[in-house]
Each structure stands twice: as structure tokens, then as C-alpha cells.
Structure 1
């Protein structure tokens, strides 16, 4: 209990909290980063953040530090004084421990209200050993009915207070407990650590200051393998700007106004997906002052696409040392229209554009070098070409390699496609066009590839026509009652024959014993399933069961009920086992289906539940229609092309893909 003499109050209308806390710091990382900053300014050497396992009633977030703590009087004069500016009030740009002060606005301590309705503060003073525990309740602070400006002090609930105590001094520090959380999602501990590290410049590397989240130090994810170029370290002699010094991998330069900045830009091998990593972040006194951006560049310069690969940090302490505050309340952006910020903006634009051009050239060179290495597997194919042909193809590959936005995988695909097209006698005019391009950007490449749209459609149409021919061959064998294991195996190897959507399915053997056990219970008692041929296919978390009834048998009501029971039994077992399969569907195929009253409606209900029953004629007709529809779409892309017209008139051989036909054995 707190003695009657331990009283605290806050003297401003609490509705201001709605703007200082809730409106500004709705991100858990942003809110807690402000509390970490306070711990830095209190000369803490350790900050421990504890996140909840799940956000629900009773969940809380704890932020504890071993900093200076506060006396009761300091709680009143500093913490509960809105807008308290330590630099002005104490005439100090550094803490007593010699650190540059991060705080300036005096409102970050209310950031917790962005994610919680209740904030408990427990603090022990290093100076006196006083221990004070008080509570801030956003509902009480923001109560309705009062004016925005109110000179009447509002009492703050003091939960506990203990006077000065020498023995308590070693327990100095502050613990903030955020309760009645308003977050919608439970923060991921690993991602939280990474995001927190990105809010501070080299903070996790400071020898006298550590921050942990759920017991693990904050640190950026180890992504060195993703980085392709690192500047200024990767400058060559001619590229290095005049006056640039390099210290521990960081560039050190002076702006025209005399302010010193430190910087490091890196380019990733693939486009950056993380929002808080893509672009250049500005830091002042180790703390984020401008979220990642590209110095307001809006276009009109080369290699703009390279921005998607760029990440960087700039340390510009002078931005936070101006008489006028240039940084927004939530530490997200700098006022770039201010005169003091313009030299940094101009430097950033020039340095960014220069590095984007350098990256484009170096990436192209790297791709050409990598291309030469990748050409080795194609050497035998190139050797079979006439010398002048090989030269044309190599020039075309070089031109494509210089398109820096292409990933290595995309380049590999294009290189192989170019070689295959030339070998097949197609696209030679387009490849010639590529080989004659001294410089080729992404837009030009897209234009050239667009010209190959007809050829791409033709290649796909030839494949589809070939598959239709193979389905026709299978249909002949079914009609001749040759439903043997060879046919079953061929369907297993080529499930696309039945439906294009089955193209990714493969034979699943891991459940063979289970399937056999269930089928003996539900199917084998029926003579129509004796000597049946069945398949179990899988793709990702989907399991597809195909049951083929004995040739010559007609499926009736009882067969359908047995099959339904079989699939449902399998679903129950898979669900109980919590296996990797989340979807179990089935297809029963018979020579014929009975058509009694109500039978069609029964099949419709089964289909809606992921089960189907059909005959061979219906199955193959549906398969042919699906592939024919696909062919029609491809044909519509180039109806005037003679080769496409030849496919329509049946110009393809029955097995022109060279795939083996099913055996009759």
C-alpha cells in the first residue's frame, strides 16, 4: 500500500493521450521501441522484453531495465510531465553515463497506450533506493465530458511506495507492465527481434547495452548470404567518391553544411520483400528518424528497378541536434522541406542514383561471368551448331544476361529456352534480334518476348494436341476391355491425361498398408471389386483416391455407398493421425453406371463433398473436353498461323512427343 503522502498527478487533459499514444504507436514494435529508448537514456545496460504466447484476456507485455530508475519526485517532474525535454530541462546532450540522449519530445513514455489500456510502472531509484509503483489507466485519462485543455490536476493511482533505502539501491531500474492489450495479433517473437533491431543503429552491438526479447538478444537476421554488393566496401578505385573515408565497412562523409554522416548501402541478390528493410533508413543518435525510403526520388534516372534490391542505413546525428525538431512524433519521417535537412536529401539522391548505376553494370558483369560458367552444360549442344549459329546464340545469351532484373533462375530458364528454340528451328529471327542488341533493358526484352507469343502458344498447343492423341489411344484400350495393370500404371505416371489439374499429382505409397486395411473392410467383401485396380495419388496436402471397379461391372446404389464409406473411413483415420494430408477426395470408375431415380442427385451430393463416381466413357470425354478447351485458348492466340491450323486439321502424329504408350501386358 502507498502512504497517504505518496501522491502523483498529471496536469493535462487525458484525451491528448489519444494522439500521443494510441494514434502514433499502434505497432507493438514502434511502441516498445520508445520504451527501450527511455531505458537507454536512463543508462541501463540491459533491457528485457517479454511477449505473451497468445493475445487474450489477461495477457501482458513486460519491459524491464536496470537503468537509473526514478524517485517519487522524478516520477512527478519527469515521467508525468508531458513534453519533458531532458536536453533542455537538464541542459544535457548526453546521459550521466556519456551516451547521446535519444529522447527529446517527452511523450514516448506514453507510447504503451498505443497497444494497451493499462500501464503499470514500477521503478527503483539508483540515487535513493526509493521504490514507486503507479498505474495509468487510459479509460480514466480519456474520460469524456472535459475540455481538451484543463488546468485541474488529475490524480494518478499510486499502488505502492517505499522511501529511501540504501540496501534497495542495487535493485535500481524500471519495469513497465502493459495490460489489457489492444493488439489484434500475437507478435511473432523472432520477427519482433528483427524488427526491433532495425529501429536502432548498431544498438544490438553496443558493448554496454543489450536488449533481449523472450530471453534472446535482438539482432538482424543473418542475411549475409542474400547480399550481393556492399558499399562503400565494394567500390573500386575509380568509383569511390572524393572525400569518402571508410571505417569498419561504413562510409564517412561531410555534407556541404559541415555535418558528418556515416552510411552503408547493400544490394540483395533478389528483390527485397520486407517493408522495414527495403530502402534507406536514417538514424539520429542510434535511433530511427526516417523509415526506409529512397530520398524522394520519383523517376527520370537510369536503373530505377535496382531500388527493389537496395537497403541501407545512414547515421545523421545532426538532424536531431537542431533547435527546431525535424523528426515526426512517431519517429517515422524527417521534415525534408526544412533547410537543415536539404543537404542530406541532396547527398542521398546523388549517392543513391550513382550506386544504382554502378549496381546495374556490376550485376550485368556478374551475370555474364555466371553465364559463362553456366554455358558449360550446354557446350555439347553448342558444339553441334554451325560456328556462326553458336556465335549468334552466345551473343543472344549475353544480351539477356545484361538485363539485371532477371534472377539467376529466370536467366537459366531463358537461356535453355533460347537454345532449345534455335535447335528446333524456331524463333531464329527473334534470337538474331537479341544477339544484335548492344544494350537491352527489361522493357525491350519484354517487347521481344511478346513477339514470341505465337511460338509459345504453338509449342503449348502441340503438347496439348499430343496429349489429346494419347487420351484417344487410352480410350481405345478401355473400349477393348484391356483395363490391366499396365493401363493403371500409365495413368499413375500421367495423371494429367484424366484432368489438367492433376498434373502435379504423384503416386502416394506411404499409406499403402492403411489403404489396404480399410479397403478390405469396406470394398473387398463385394465381388465387383475383386481384382480391382486402384491408385492413390498425392500433391501437397491433398490425397486423391481412384478406385476402378472390375471390368464389365455396372455400379449401382450399393457400390456407391460402399465407396462413400471407404473415403469417409480414410478421412477419419487421416484426421485422427493428424497427417500431412488435409484434403481426401475420391473417384470411382466403372464400365457403366446405373441410372435409377434419385441416383443422379446422389452423385451430385457426393461431388460437392469431394467424391465422384463415373464411367470410363464419361471420364475420358470430360478429360478430352478439358484439354480441348485449353487447346482452343491457345489456338485463339494465333489463328492465322499455318502450323496452328495444321494442328486443327490433325497434322500431328499420334505420338509426336515421343512418350511411351501404355503396354497391353
Structure 2
């Protein structure tokens, strides 16, 4: 159909009548509050950090966070229970429970005695989003680094902290007053209203005023309609986060309180501190020189906790502070996993005080304060220096441990030194290094040391013969003569030892491949059987002294049958355990003349997160085995258990995974079970064997030709052709075929 002339003219006129403005207006819609509030400050602790920093910058002498933890806990449980019923009835969409508020009468109140605000301050300093508080209007540079009276260096910079409350609550009520005023200014920010605004710039916020006295000053912030999911972590997490985010602040200058109790740093015992010389109030000082840019000076100290007091993954490494507030970390930053003594990072804390980093004109601190931002020359040079400090600290820590181990060996195991001193000069140093490695790993005199040291030393140089000679009182001269005669045997044994440990590395590589496969197939499919097969054939991956399992994927009835046979019980058919058809994955029996330990291992596929039900399953195995053993055995048998799998990242954990983490946190040295993440298992095993293999390789020399065990196919080929060239098996083949006794 063709348009008529009149219609064409009308269409042309409509097209030509469109406005062509000379400029456009940018609009910030209310949904921006989600990005700057809820998403950035998704937990109670993160939100409170911002309010504490604001109180500090207002020159307050104290800030008190009043939180009814018990009421919140019970209210959360009730709200979630009602929400689940609504979801089941089809009245509510799944996951909306995460956004539900608690009752209006449950509130959080943050109070400080800072200088407060008058109406002009509220309008021009508080309400502007992303106000650059350090900007000097005269110079255009961010040079206003001090608080109002110059009393403190300010922590804030970006002007976003005011929105932190929306990560925890739907309503933020602020009551504030300056000392010279006779009134309090009160106003409320309501998320529901602000988030629906087409343009935040056009939103008006009503204000009211209350009578006050000149002596009063400060700010009171009240959070109400608290978000259910943001409060899932309690007081312990809040205290830990505040302690980590604020360092070096004396309570006499600025007291941070929770429900009226001043925050204090829990005492920690350290075994080693780096460097030795720390003349700047317990810190060392260094300068990073950035060519054509300038120099940045900072103070640092690295401390290592005592053995057994390892840090969680998210607490290890360096924490960078600017003016007493966390700017980045904790993180190992660029520290490579192959660095010497890498397992020492489990106990390593590094404190960096880099005030100058926050005083330059460029903002280098990311908004979430977990890392430095950008790839500038300054950031790269600074991070390289931190990484180098961590590396040198690990090396120094290793040497320190070596000195302690040497002394402990002298005091607790002098027989080993007599054995080492009787060795050939070429063998002596590698043997000492192996002893140091074992002592550093497990502790001299520990059960692991006493069980593994003989195995390693026997493989090194026919040590079993020499130890026996010492035990029967053979003279030193005779021992030296016999040791010299055993040198040829020693070289063969060392070669065999290296072959065994190479096989172990192959199994370690297979474990690493399973972990990587778990990441790729996360929550897609399970392959617990592959993990079971690997650990069944290489049980030392779980625990160094594990060699042969008692049962593998057998019923509890079979387990008890094997145990009865191992410990010499005649018959038990009428006393089989309850739930006899349950199947623990692996069971080990550790024998000692006066002590027996039954270890039950429960494995979960690397593709699923460990949850509380998995621990309950393991505890059921332990309970059933204990009950039967108490009825039937006269031996002292301790039943323990290991749960092995993948622990979910903190921010992605389900309720059941969080419940499991809570149980892990409450566990102590006497708890009958332990939970191991596969990454932790891999890291511990890699560290334990790498040093041992290196010590043996150094002793054998560059000309040594390693004898590598052949796969069944290669062996068959070699037997049919004497000139056939042998090929080393793959990591998977080695892992499957090599089972050291």
C-alpha cells in the first residue's frame, strides 16, 4: 500500500520536529544503591568497618556498636522458617528469603562522640555520593589528608561509606550534632524510596530537629529493618574483621567497642620474627624506588605462629595498612608456590605500614580494600618488594627451624647423631638434612618422626644395620669399618629410595590433576571412585605413616572382622555393629605395643562441597565402631576419623557448608575427627616430599642415572627385546602402580 502525498508530508514533518538538544543530562537511578551498598557491603562486619572509619575521621574518642546478637539469631531462624514454608506453598519465589528483613524493633546502633554535623555538613559533606573529601579546591589536588582540626590522618577517601548501611538494613536513621549547636539534626534514608527514584539527584530527604545542649556532640546511626542474610555471621566474625581492618590504634586514642566492651586483639604466640633488626617501634623500614616516579617508604614485620597454630587460608600472608586501616590483603601476592619452605606460609603473618601509599595524588586502593588497583609502575614495584620480603622471611624461618631441630635432635635423639657421624663424609650432610626435614615437618620426638626417620635413614645407607650395631654396643671403630664396607649397598639403596620418592611425586601429581578436574567439573558430575582408588594405592598421601589399609569400601561388619583378626579376637558373629551395611571408604589400624588407633577415612568427590551431613556420616562410623570395640576388645583402641574433600569458598557456602565450618572451628586437639581440604592435603604432601627428594638427589650427584619403574607395557616390551628403550610411565601410571611399603 502506497502512502498518499498528505501522509508523506505529515511523516516528514514529524521526523523533522524531533528536538536536537545541545547537551545531555546524566541520571543516576536508584538502582545504583545496589552496586554501591548491598553488593559492596554484604555482611555485617564489612558494613561496620565503614562506620568505624567514619567515626575515626570525625575525631571521636570512641565508637560503640550496639547489636542484640541473641535476638537477631532467633529472629533469623524464625523468618527463614516462615519463608521456607511460603516457598513450599508457592507463595514466594526461591532465594527471595535472602532479602527478607527482620522485625522493625530489632535494630543496630552505632554511636560516637566525634565532632558531629550541622545541616550544612549533612548537605554538602555527607549526602554527596562519591565526594572526594581530600580534594583541595584551590589546587585541585587530593592534599587534604588530615581530619577537621588536624588531629588525625583520615582513613576515608571515596565518599561511599555512608551507603554501607544498606548492605545490612533497609533504613538508616542519622542523628547528629556539633558542640556549638543547641539542636540535633535528624534524617532518614529509606532504601525502598531511594532505590525507586528515577534520579537520585532529585531526591529530597526530610529533616527534623531535636533540642540539645551545647555540651553534647557526636553522631548516632540506627539501622532498622535488618536484612536477614547479611547477619548470618555473629559476634566472633565481627570482632575478627574489625581487628584485622584496624591495626595500631590505641584504645586511649580511639576505642572501638561492641556492646560497651572495648575491642582487644587476642594474644598470639609467635615462634619467629623477621627481620632480626627492627628499630622503628618493632618494624623494619625499606624504600621502593620507582624510576621517574618517586620513592615510597614503608615499615614491615613478618611473624610466624607456633607449630600447630596455623592460619586459615584467607588470613595468611601480608596485610597492607595505610594510616592504621587495612588497604589490601591478607594475601601472598606474587609469592610462587615452589618457593623454599612454602609450607611455612601456613603460619606467616606480615604487617606492612605504608601510609605514603595513601598520600600520593593517585588512589591506589581498591574500593573493597582487598588489593591494590591498577598495573601502574608504583603498584608493580611495591608488590614485587612485598613478595621479596615474604620469600626472604620464609628462608630465614627455615634456617631458624633447622637450628631448633638440630638442638632438639641433640637433646631428644642423640642416637641419630651417632649414626650420622658414623657415616661416610659424602653421605653425612644429606642424612643430616633429611633428619632436619623430618624434624621441621613433624617435630623431633613426635610419633611421626620416630616412625618415619628409621625408614628414611634405612633407605639412605643401610641404617638398620648400623642402628642395630649401636644398640648392641658395638664400638665406634667397628661401626666405621662396617659402614665403609656397606657403601656399595648404600648407593643402591639411595637409588631405590629416590625411585620410591619419584613414584610418590607421580602420585602427588595425580592428586593435583584430580583437584583441577574437580574445579572443571564442579557440581557437574562426581568421581569419588577415582579419588578412592588413588588414596587406596597411595595411603601416605593422607598421612605419612599410612601404608596398608585394613579395609577399603567394606561394610562395618567386615571392618570389625578384619579388626578382630588383626587384634586376635576369636569370634564376634553375634555382636556385629549396628548399620553393618554402611561402607567407610578406607580404614587404617595403627599398631603400637601399648596403643592401637583405628582411623576411618570418608572421601567425597572433588566436585562437591563438603557439608555437615558428610561429617555426620563419618561420626556415625566412628560411634558404631567405638561401641562394638568397647564391648568386644580388651585392648586400648582409639577410634578417629578423617573427612576428605573440597571445602567451599566462604562467600559461596550453603547453610550446611557453613554449619560444617562452625563445627571445624569449634574442634580442638582432642576432637576425634578432622576435616581435610584436598588442597591442604596436596600442599602438605608436596612440602614433605620435595625437600627429601632434593636431599637425596644432591647426594647422588649429576651423573646418577635414575632407575624409573616401568609400566607393565614397557616391562613386557623390554623382556622381548633387550635393546628396547625404556620409557618412564605417566604420572597416572606411576600413581597407580607405585605403593611404597
Q: Does the alignment reach a TM-score above 0.5?
A: yes
* Alpha-carbon separation, structure 2, partners of 1:326 and 1:189: 31
Match of 2:210 in 1: 162
Residues 373/171 of structure 1: CA separation in 2 closer, same or farther (3 Å cut):
farther
Any conservation in 2 of the 1:302–1:357 contact (CA below 8 Å)? yes
Match of 1:130 in 2: 183
Alpha-carbon offset, residue 446 of structure 1: 5.2
1:318 aligned to which of 342, 348, 356: 356
For the residue of structure 2 that corresponds to 1:35, the secondary structure is helix
Any conservation in 1 of the 2:145–2:154 contact (CA below 8 Å)? yes
2:126 aligned to which of 70, 76, 79: 79
* Alpha-carbon separation, structure 2, partners of 1:472 and 1:230: 52
- Answering whether residue 286 of structure 2 is matched by residue 190 of structure 1, we say no
* Alpha-carbon separation, structure 2, partners of 1:209 and 1:411: 47
- Answering whether residue 229 of structure 2 is matched by residue 229 of structure 1, we say no
Alpha-carbon offset, residue 218 of structure 1: 1.9
Match of 1:246 in 2: 279
Match of 1:43 in 2: 59
Match of 1:207 in 2: 252
- Answering whether residue 92 of structure 2 is matched by residue 92 of structure 1, we say no
Residues 78/448 of structure 1: CA separation in 2 closer, same or farther (3 Å cut):
closer
| 1:277-307 superposed Cα distances (whole Å, 9 cap, x missing partner) | 2110111121111121123234564333333
For the residue of structure 2 that corresponds to 1:229, the secondary structure is strand
Residues 459/86 of structure 1: CA separation in 2 closer, same or farther (3 Å cut):
closer
Q: How many residues in Structure 1 have an aligned counterpart in Structure 2?
A: 469
Any conservation in 1 of the 2:49–2:242 contact (CA below 8 Å)? yes
Alpha-carbon offset, residue 453 of structure 1: 7.8
Alpha-carbon offset, residue 65 of structure 1: 0.6
Alpha-carbon offset, residue 86 of structure 1: 2.3
Match of 2:442 in 1: 408
* Alpha-carbon separation, structure 2, partners of 1:131 and 1:541: 66
Q: How does 1:364-375 map to 2 (within 5 A)?
A: 364-375=402-413
Unaligned runs of 5+ in 2: 1-26, 77-101, 138-142, 465-489, 509-536, 552-558, 578-583, 591-619, 632-735
Alpha-carbon offset, residue 502 of structure 1: 12
Residues 471/31 of structure 1: CA separation in 2 closer, same or farther (3 Å cut):
closer
- Answering whether residue 398 of structure 2 is matched by residue 360 of structure 1, we say yes
Alpha-carbon offset, residue 68 of structure 1: 0.7
Alpha-carbon offset, residue 210 of structure 1: 0.7
Alpha-carbon offset, residue 373 of structure 1: 2.7
* Alpha-carbon separation, structure 2, partners of 1:188 and 1:395: 53
Alpha-carbon offset, residue 72 of structure 1: 1.9
* Alpha-carbon separation, structure 1, partners of 2:369 and 2:539: 49
Residues 114/456 of structure 1: CA separation in 2 closer, same or farther (3 Å cut):
closer
Alpha-carbon offset, residue 429 of structure 1: 5.4
Any conservation in 1 of the 2:364–2:372 contact (CA below 8 Å)? yes
Match of 2:295 in 1: 258
Any conservation in 1 of the 2:503–2:738 contact (CA below 8 Å)? no
Any conservation in 2 of the 1:364–1:401 contact (CA below 8 Å)? no
Any conservation in 2 of the 1:267–1:309 contact (CA below 8 Å)? yes
Alpha-carbon offset, residue 27 of structure 1: 2.6
Match of 1:282 in 2: 320
Any conservation in 1 of the 2:420–2:428 contact (CA below 8 Å)? no
Alpha-carbon offset, residue 333 of structure 1: 1.6
Alpha-carbon offset, residue 102 of structure 1: 1.1
Any conservation in 2 of the 1:47–1:64 contact (CA below 8 Å)? yes
Any conservation in 1 of the 2:317–2:345 contact (CA below 8 Å)? yes
Alpha-carbon offset, residue 320 of structure 1: 1.4
For the residue of structure 1 that corresponds to 2:284, the secondary structure is strand
Residues 32/42 of structure 1: CA separation in 2 closer, same or farther (3 Å cut):
same
For the residue of structure 2 that corresponds to 1:306, the secondary structure is helix
Unaligned runs of 5+ in 1: 1-10, 236-244, 493-498, 505-536, 549-636, 645-665
Residues 20/276 of structure 1: CA separation in 2 closer, same or farther (3 Å cut):
same
**Worse-matched range after superposition: 443-452 or 285-294:** 443-452
Alpha-carbon offset, residue 37 of structure 1: 0.6
| 1:345-387 superposed Cα distances (whole Å, 9 cap, x missing partner) | 23212222222222222222222322333316xx5x999x999
* Alpha-carbon separation, structure 2, partners of 1:386 and 1:363: 19
Residues 435/72 of structure 1: CA separation in 2 closer, same or farther (3 Å cut):
farther
* Alpha-carbon separation, structure 2, partners of 1:444 and 1:371: 28
Q: How does 1:507-522 map to 2 (within 5 A)?
A: none
* Alpha-carbon separation, structure 2, partners of 1:46 and 1:639: 63
Any conservation in 1 of the 2:135–2:144 contact (CA below 8 Å)? yes
Residues 99/470 of structure 1: CA separation in 2 closer, same or farther (3 Å cut):
closer
Residues 35/446 of structure 1: CA separation in 2 closer, same or farther (3 Å cut):
same
* Alpha-carbon separation, structure 2, partners of 1:107 and 1:200: 18
* Alpha-carbon separation, structure 2, partners of 1:360 and 1:435: 28
Match of 1:610 in 2: none
State the TM-score, normalizing by the size of structure 1.
0.59
RMSD, matched Cα: 4.9
Residues 31/427 of structure 1: CA separation in 2 closer, same or farther (3 Å cut):
same
For the residue of structure 2 that corresponds to 1:314, the secondary structure is strand
Match of 1:474 in 2: 570
* Alpha-carbon separation, structure 2, partners of 1:197 and 1:71: 31
* Alpha-carbon separation, structure 2, partners of 1:414 and 1:370: 15
Any conservation in 2 of the 1:66–1:174 contact (CA below 8 Å)? yes
For the residue of structure 2 that corresponds to 1:155, the secondary structure is coil
Q: How does 1:478-557 map to 2 (within 5 A)?
A: 544=627
* Alpha-carbon separation, structure 1, partners of 2:492 and 2:125: 69
Residues 539/41 of structure 1: CA separation in 2 closer, same or farther (3 Å cut):
same
| 1:143-170 superposed Cα distances (whole Å, 9 cap, x missing partner) | 17x2xx564x212243x4136x5xx232
* Alpha-carbon separation, structure 2, partners of 1:640 and 1:218: 53
Residues 14/404 of structure 1: CA separation in 2 closer, same or farther (3 Å cut):
farther
Alpha-carbon offset, residue 206 of structure 1: 4.8
1:216 aligned to which of 261, 265, 268: 261
| 1:632-658 superposed Cα distances (whole Å, 9 cap, x missing partner) | xxxxx99999xx9xxxxxxxxxxxxxx
* Alpha-carbon separation, structure 1, partners of 2:408 and 2:364: 46
Any conservation in 2 of the 1:85–1:103 contact (CA below 8 Å)? no
* Alpha-carbon separation, structure 1, partners of 2:195 and 2:124: 21
